[in-house]
Structure 1
């Protein structure tokens, strides 16, 4: 089955869907497809239905009665019936659905898109599907390949967990991720200009829909056009990206106290990454934020990253760049931005915010991503097992040193070893002073009994280049590695 024309990448996802749809067993099977909004899940599943002559139903937020009417009409059209089905309840609808494939016949793909909408109005639906997928399906139904799809990550994650009715029933559990920074640069057509690619990525990330529908194909022509592009598409009240962050929050069914969630995201976007820092920003007790942080994690809006050197310490970061851009830069000046003639002034005075709270932290995250997935063993001095950030205490100076990139590996005897530590500077030419800071941190780590840092390499990541002195030293010392933007996007 050929991938639909116009589908970028998604080779793994498409191959798994094809494998699921092509399974020749006589029983009905279940697959679950999830992922954040705007990632192309519907495009994938609609394409699968088109090439397999499958049934695709996209639910809307509606009452049970209206959902049944919509489903009955869609099913009738698929079967070529002149009159729609009139289902009194979902038990009848599921029975008809599971009959789309006949015993002994070819498998039939059936997709229920936006499944959380259906289950919210009809909580018994997962149990009805469980029964339909049970052992009796071998005798009463045909080889239906049922795919449930949804963007509510907390709901979709719970669909197959714990004591949920569909637990243990799925033979496919596919998460459609955002495109990483390299794929996003290719998708936007910006691979020839890595600096521009990273600037764009810091605003819109790797969400495919933002490249086409949301900006009508408008990509910045060069670095000088980046600011005007932001004004045209992100700070423009007439474009969908202007309110996208607000909609992402409103579309999550598990977020009820939206004022609190908005404030938590604003705290993180403005540089408060620990629970204590977030609590201080909100003027609340840190114990009061446990539920809100957990819910935001479950919905995929934030991620909790452990400190590389302190098992009980962690940092919270926003997962979607458009949210960081909104909460750090747009939300504090929202009243001005609603007047189109004020956008240019807002963008100009927000440049320090953009550098310190948006592009700087995003560059650090991209450096960790590169180190985790693209850096070679030769660069790192061994095979990596985990890549994190962390804080190294300095007892003499009575301070802590932040380390942007921390790379761990494992020796042949199973002992963990610190392969490398690194510093990332987006708009600063790195020199010997930056290397000396890393050497000091490495010396502190070597003095700790629980860290094997004898062969630790030093990594310097820069978006602005390196001084001649540092370049000359790195040529002579294999323990020092320099990574610029071109290497981030094309090297290892």
Structure 2
């Protein structure tokens, strides 16, 4: 069965198709799906519209006692089934069976949104659902309820299906709803200038909600309006976006020590991506950071990228651009911002914005282009992994910081893994022949290292400020040299 995606949902074609496929499955037996994603990504809109399109049931949980939640659920079921009054539910066993009973005659979409609110108040609820979905149980086999549990607490939702959790192996759908990618975000904001799109994405990322109510539907009118837009929409205490980065931490119940987590994020925003660097910045031992780093990873706010050239080494990066912007620009000047001196703060913060926010954001955009949008022939193969890396030069006893290392798919046998590209990425600097020479030296070093097939690796140079004429001429006659500007990132392959 095919259901057209509602006009009010931007992008999300893959997510909508997966949800429709799950909800319209006509096979007998109740099934379970789990939908996850950070807040403000449009999960509720997707699921509400799915329930509407399939004549299904939608219930949005709130923070409440179990008794109140059961009463609200019974009232909602009563309205949905057009019963004479609310359905009385004595406990969650009765409640789950009542939800399964909704699909007795046909496939019925049943959405329980903000599921963590219910499960935190009633710890045995996941086990109750597990029991209800036991194979052979009549309440399951005689039902075609398509039960969708949704939540924004990523650490909690991830634990629902992990390890020995009760619902492990019960779900037929595990759907993450991620932020929009940088190209989709530009289209959503109505920005067609690549430089402006990159600057905007470095602050608000791909979170759909930030486009509408969080800035009163205010988007930069063009490159000349960007600075004014930042002051009036991001650094303005009267706008919801102003405090959003703080709320992102406060909303996750697993992030209990807010001061520690803010300090860890500040360390990463300042360029301290290693565990030792973070520890030194916040004045803790590296061994004390295992828990906070794991919690921030589970919450979807930090990502750990292994260094492909140094076994056992990795770097952390912040996944939400708004948090990076807050830590680098807003948090150090919070008092001045609350006093509505946003224009002064922004004027003084240009260098920090460029180095701590825009530069790293541009590097990650280039890596995403390499993975998602560049054609295979651009790199001579399919890019399976793209990350930053550190390469040691034993002859000069120096290290090369490579902003991009693009790896091909692992070989089937024991042969070397193809290294498809290495790159230099700079937002605010014009790249030229010396940058190419450095990459050529790095390729020579990698070619000599065992385990890598780097002889034909492309040399990628990406810049927001442009390239020298000499470098452009070299790239025009050498297929192994790629120059990538924002226009190619946003529209080319």
TM-score (norm 1): 0.96
| TM-superposed deviation, 1:139 | 6.8
Judge conservation of contact 2:267–2:282 (CA < 8 Å) in 1. yes
Q: Which residue of 2 aligns with 1:30?
A: 32
Q: Work out the CA distance in 2 between the residues paired with 1:195 and 1:442.
A: 30
Equivalences for residues 97-112 of structure 1 within 5 A: 97-102=99-104, 105-112=105-112
| Shift in Å, 1:200 | 0.6
* Contact 1:303/1:318 (<8 A) preserved: yes
Which residue matches 2:309?
A: 309
Q: Distance in 2 between matches of 1:19 and 1:56?
A: 18
Equivalent position SS for 2:313: strand
- The aligned residue for residue 332 of structure 2 is 332
Would the aligned equivalents of 2:63 and 2:118 in 1 still touch at CA under 8 Å?
Answer: yes
Which is worse superposed, 439-448 or 126-135? 439-448
Answering whether residue 407 of structure 2 is matched by residue 405 of structure 1, we say no
Once the two structures are superposed, residues 245-279 of structure 1 have per-residue CA deviations (whole angstroms, 9 ceiling, x without a partner) of: 11110111211122111111111111110000000
Q: CA deviation at 1:332?
A: 1.0
How much has 1:446 moved relative to structure 2?
A: 2.8
Aligned residues: 488
Q: Secondary structure at the match of 2:93?
A: helix
CA–CA separation in structure 1 for the residues paired with 2:397 and 2:183: 40
User: Does the 8 A contact of 1:421 with 1:456 survive in 2?
Assistant: yes
Q: Kindly provide the CA deviation profile for residues 288-335 of structure 1, in whole angstroms up to 9, marking residues without a partner as x.
A: 000110111111100000112012100000000011011111111111
Deviation at 1:129, TM superposition (A): 1.2
Matches within 5 A, 1:92-491: 92-102=94-104, 105-134=105-134, 135-137=136-138, 141-190=142-191, 192-340=192-340, 342-409=341-408, 414-491=415-492
Quote how far apart the aligned CAs of 1:412 are: 8.2
1: CA distance, partners of 2:9 / 2:465: 34
Spell out structure 1 runs of 4+ moving beyond 4 A: 138-141, 410-414
- 1:27, 1:137 within 8 Å by CA — same for their partners in 2? no
Gaps of 5+ in 1: none
CA distance in 2, matches of 1:382, 1:113: 42
Q: What CA distance in whole angstroms lies between the structure 2 residues aligned with 1:10 and 1:409?
A: 28
Deviation at 1:28, TM superposition (A): 0.9
Deviations 1:123-142 (A, max 9, x none): 11111111222221467742
SS in 2 for 1:87: coil
Which residue number corresponds to residue 56 of structure 1?
Answer: 58
Deviation of 1:448 after TM superposition, in Å, equals 2.5
The Cα shift of 1:193 comes to 0.4
Distance 1:273 1:97, change over 3 A: same
Query: 1:114, 1:339 → 2: CA distance?
Result: 36
Structure 2 CA distance for aligned equivalents of residues 269 and 250 of structure 1: 19
CA distance in 1, matches of 2:149, 2:273: 35
Preserved contact between residue 116 and residue 151 of structure 2 (Cα < 8 Å): yes
CA distance in 1: counterparts of 2:453 and 2:15, whole angstroms: 39
Question: Secondary structure, in 3 states, of the residue corresponding to 2:452?
Answer: coil
Distance 1:42 1:328 in 2: 31
Q: TM-score, normalised by structure 2?
A: 0.96
Separation in structure 1 between the aligned mates of residue 218 and residue 152 of structure 2, nearest angstrom: 26
Do the aligned residues in 1 keep the contact of 2:215 with 2:239 (CA within 8 Å)? Answer: yes
| Cα offset, 1:467, TM superposition | 1.0
| Greater Cα offset, 423-432 or 439-448 | 439-448
The C-alpha deviation readout for 1:106-136, integer Å capped at 9, x for no partner, is 1111100000110000011111111222221
Matches of 2:89 and 2:381, distance apart in 1: 61
Look up the SS of the partner of 1:85 in the other structure: coil
**Equivalent-residue separation in structure 2 for 1:47 and 1:153 (angstroms):** 22
SS in 2 for 1:57: strand
Cα deviations across residues 434-476 of structure 1 (Å, max 9, x unaligned)? 1112122222223333433222221110111111111111111
Moved more, 226-235 or 412-421: 412-421
Q: CA deviation at 1:82?
A: 5.0
Q: Distance in 2 between matches of 1:316 and 1:375?
A: 25
CA contact (8 A) 1:100 1:144 kept: yes
